[in-house]
Structure 1
Amino acid sequence: MTASKQPLWISDAIAKAVDGVANSNFAVMGVAFDSREVGSGDLFIAMKGESSDGHLFLDKAFANGAAGAISEQVIDSPHILVEDSAVALNRLGEAARARTDAQIIGVTGSAGKTGTKEALFECLARIAPDKAHRSVKSYNNHVGVPLSLARMPGDSRYGIFEMGMNHAGELADLTKIVRPHVAIVTTVAPAHVGHFPSLEAIADAKGEIFSGLEPGGTAIIPYDSPYRDRLIEAASPYAAKIVTFGLGEGADVRALDWVPAGNGGTLITARLPGQTSLCFTLSAPGEHWVANAMAILAAVQAVGGDLAAAGLALAELPGLPGRGARHHIEMGEGTALLIDESYNANPASMAATIGQLGREPAERRIAVLGAMRELGDDSDHYHAALADHLAEANVNYALLIGEEMKILASALEGRVEFAHGPDAAWALQQLRATMRQGDAVLIKGSNAVGLGKIVSALTGGET
């Protein structure tokens, strides 16, 4: 689970960190709580969940190569015996944070946090090969964050951790474990709005990340957000320095201009504090990525990183599965462009990615849209509002999936050609019958809708 050749943890250190008892001496190279992800030399943490109990998979974990386990039960294999494995994971994460001198960056936001986290990792890994660490996948909750910390080698120079929330108070707890030197809010938008009374309440919940800042820490805040001042107010008691980023005049780190690049990305000229300008190519297309890049540069500068090296990394940034990966699908004598945004969706990210679809050079533009979840009583409003974005982007055809999309279907009547169906399997069948060379196809929806199956099927994965 880690590139370090030295053991990540030894049993004595684990036992001390989690207040447990080791039945033998062992060393581990990684940490996992899912037996399916256990590799050779890993520590398996057997936790009891709402629908499963990790202790039932201890044999499988050791068969997969686990070197030891954290367990609430005595077993014959090497293990640390604890009263509560979930508490033990938290303590192991805290111990990992306590033992490192790394510069720690925390990232949250209604959209863009995983992409920003991954891009920051690429930038800092370019500066310090094998000494940069980040949370994998979207491990950003009360289990994923301590797991990601526990996986961080003690000699890391940089650690980048994504933190998510869908209720007030969650980020306050997570940031106190991460204790970042730099904390970023990418954006505030109506994601999980069903759990909050207002967008202002979402902004306040995002602002909780600043409460965990280390002394002398830096808060990085979106200048163009209508909640900028609210976030600045939240950061002020904790941050020694507040840096704004964005596209508007007045941002501390600002994109002065940007134009499409020949490789499908964007050529950007940015201004930073203490720098006249930095010109670089960003491989990811879209204005939303231009803004994210400003946050990334602000963070690199805040931890004393090499901005030129960061610019090179951004030029080579690979697309993330489910978050903007681009595939060229062979169709007859040509190809169709498939844009994979299948992992998540909220009104802000929908608007941004539909807008980018409208800028793609293509013979036809097709949007395959799944429902947005956790929007509460305003769900119909936000879904219907997508009609304007689709029309403005000159989308030729829309495939709408899920009951929540019925209202969008009504709003599109007479504006954009569409079909409305029940699930991803239906959409795949429709898309296969419709797609042809020269098309640009956007696939976007909440992860629970399962649109990733469409991407897998069209790119050679499972059908």
Structure 2
Amino acid sequence: MMRLSEAAKALNGKLIGEDVLFTSIGTDSRAIVKDQLFVALRGEHFDGNVYAQESIEKGAAAAMVSDDALDLSAGLQVSDTRLALGQLAAYWRNKFDIPLAAITGSNGKTTVKEMLASILHAAESESAVLSTKGNFNNDIGLPLTLLKLRSEHRYAVAEMGMNHLGEISYLTKIGRPTVALINNATTAHVGELGSVEMIAHAKGEIFEGLADDGTAIINADDTFAPLWKTLAGKRHITTFGVDAVADVSADYQLDSDGSSLHVRTPSGDIAIRLPVAGLHNVRNALAATAAALAMGVNLAKVKQGLESFGGVKGRLQHKAGINGALVIDDTYNANPASMRAAIDVLAARSGNKLLVLGDMGELGDDASAMHTSIGQYAKQSGISTLYTLGELSRDMAAAFGANAQHFDTPETLAASVAKSMTTHSTVLVKGSRFMRMERVVGLLVQADEQNIKANIKDGGAH
């Protein structure tokens, strides 16, 4: 990858000991890879400097540290290892002249990223595409992703998340995308930023690092599309949407297993069978299409990539439930907009519709009202029964009214849901990450109801 002296020069750091070659970079001393550069991050409750020498003994080539008292066989001293990680990633990214798409948004950014990656895999090969893994979308995860760029890569896709102003500005200046996409702005993180308007401005920071000859991809259906067009400046703009006039749009027919699309683009029209359900996924697919076209991919490969898209873990995943029921696992995260999208998917199915919801986080002073609105929306959408878990979700149950039950534990909730699960039932489970609603999914896909009853602990419906 590079010698320690090259990194020292790029970071204006101090070389310690031997000038070794390192072939990868990591931040976890418990998962050292041979010839890796260990970056000793420091936080409120930990100090990676303590593990610097140990990491070398485990096989790391060297360690990047901020402690000037360390005597290492091979190391690099900088004033702030977290900032240096970003600086090194920016330096490394500059070596690669390839299309790089940066994706942000309140909802759907991971799905759009995975859809785009699927298209790019169809255009080249899986090994030719670098994309963000998991939730590596912050000021540590993004640099670690970019530092995996290698000569075989022809495309890169980077997800950029945020929970405060300035974060995406920092990330996009590291990544220097050739394509920058904003999927939407909703009330996710409103507790931190104060208003959806501030969230929209924070998302708009993504264009600060976009190349002057790059392409800004904007959701024409979003209220803040005019703001983002202004922030994109003189760069080329491509819009996508299903309601407003857009460069990439579609006629669509939704069903319980996906949608049939007639997609219109500046490169022509094409029919696509999208294998994931929901109108929100139609928009996600149009966003990925717009980005792929901006990266030089042809429509035939767009079709191939979207039609082979396998979905994302914890996002509307279909699983075989007990008693022949279908369980839809949408437990990765939740905010009001994604809750409504999930409810729409469940409402479109036939038979008994069982909805299991946990609390939504980061909603600030509006949390109670927003949970109430979700309960009302579920009732209006024709959901059969609502089961809730978490203190804030009591408001959802109260707003839903009859046929809503609140529980204290995942086990008692799952036992109650199981009683209504038949071959004609669909159960959708969703909640914010901290609620760990996958625990409920795990119980509902067990072999039989007796297993669930055996797991019941103290607590019950209210």
Match of 1:193 in 2: 190
Q: How many Å separate the matches in 1 of 2:327 and 2:170?
A: 38
- The one-letter code sitting in structure 1 at the alignment partner of 2:362 is E
Single out whichever of 35-44 and 95-104 deviates more from structure 2.
35-44
CA displacement at 1:81 relative to structure 2: 3.8
Q: Which residue is equivalent to 1:3?
A: none
1:273-300 deviation per Cα after TM superposition (whole angstroms, max 9, x unaligned): 131x111121211110001111111011
In structure 1, which of residues 234, 248, 271 is the aligned counterpart of residue 243 of structure 2?
A: 248
Greater mean alpha carbon deviation, residues 392-401 or residues 182-191: 392-401
Residue of structure 1 equivalent to 2:111: 115
User: Counterpart of 1:242 in 2: which secondary structure?
Assistant: strand
Which stretch shifts more, 66-75 or 293-302?
66-75
Matched position secondary structure for 1:94: helix
Does residue 30 of structure 1 match 2:19? no
Q: Is the 8 A contact 1:102 1:155 kept in 2?
A: no
Match of 1:269 among 262, 267, 276: 262
Q: Note if contact 2:376-2:396 (Cα within 8 Å) is conserved in structure 1.
A: no
Which piece of structure 1 moves more, 125-134 or 424-433?
424-433
The separation in 2 between residues aligned to 1:422 and 1:56, in whole angstroms, is: 41
Partner residue, 1:91: 87
CA distance in 1, matches of 2:7, 2:445: 42
User: Is 1:313 aligned with 2:301?
Assistant: no
Preserved CA contact (<8 Å) 1:265 1:282: yes
Q: Give TM-score scaled by structure 2 length.
A: 0.88
> Residue 308 of structure 1 aligns to a residue in which SS?
helix
Aligned to 1:446: 432
- Distance in structure 1 (CA, Å) of the matches to 2:336 and 2:382: 18
Matched positions, count: 444
Any idea what the Cα deviations from partners look like across 1:307-335, whole Å, max 9, x if unmatched?
21121121121221222322223x34xx3
The letter of the residue matching 1:338 is V
Q: Distance in 2 between matches of 1:16 and 1:383?
A: 52
Deviations along 1:103-158, one digit per CA (max 9) or x if unpaired, are 11111101001111111112112222222111211112222222222222255221
Question: Aligned pair in 2 of structure 1 residues 257, 437: CA closer, same or farther (>3 Å)?
Answer: closer
User: 1:42, 1:306 → 2: CA distance?
Assistant: 38
Q: How far 1:27 moved relative to its partner?
A: 4.3
Match of 1:375 among 358, 363, 366: 363
Q: Retained in 1: the 8 A contact 2:375–2:395? A: no
* Alpha-carbon distance in structure 1 between the residues aligned to 2:367 and 2:215: 35
Q: Is the 8 A contact 1:46 1:70 kept in 2?
A: yes
TM-score under structure 1 normalisation?
Answer: 0.88
**315, 326, 340: which one aligns with 2:318:** 326
Residue 276 (structure 2) pairs with residue 299 (structure 1):
no
**Is the 1:387–1:411 Cα contact (8 Å) retained in structure 2?**
yes
> Structure 2: how far apart are the matches of 1:139 and 1:83?
24
| Cα distance per residue 1:237-295 (max 9 Å; x no partner) | 2x42111101025111001233438xx222211000131x1111212111100011111
Partner of residue 101, structure 1: 97
SS of 1:369 mapped into structure 2: strand
Deviation at residue 457 of structure 1 after TM alignment: 4.8
Cα distance between partner residues in 1 of 2:284 and 2:28:
31
Alpha-carbon distance in 1 for matches of 2:442, 2:38: 29
**Sequence identity percentage:** 33
User: What is the CA distance between 1:407 and its match in structure 2?
Assistant: 1.5
Tell me by how many angstroms 1:397 deviates.
1.9
Maintained 8 Å contact 1:343/1:444: yes
Q: Alpha carbons of 1:45 and 1:429: their partners in 2 closer, same or farther (altered >3 Å)?
A: farther
SS of 1:159 mapped into structure 2: strand
Aligned to 2:201: 204
Secondary structure, counterpart of 2:172 in structure 1 = helix
- Tell me the SS of whatever aligns to 1:312: helix
Q: CA deviation at 1:25?
A: 5.1
Q: Is 1:44–1:69's contact at 8 Å kept on the other side of the alignment? A: yes
In 2: Cα distance, 1:346 partner to 1:388 partner: 15
Deviation string 1:402-440 (CA, Å, 9 cap, x unpaired) is 1111221211113xx122123445434444555444422
Say yes or no: does 1:135 pair with 2:123: no
Does the Cα contact within 8 Å between 1:424 and 1:450 map onto a contact in 2? no
With over 3 angstroms needed to count, the CA separation of the structure-2 counterparts of 1:435 and 1:66, relative to structure 1, is farther
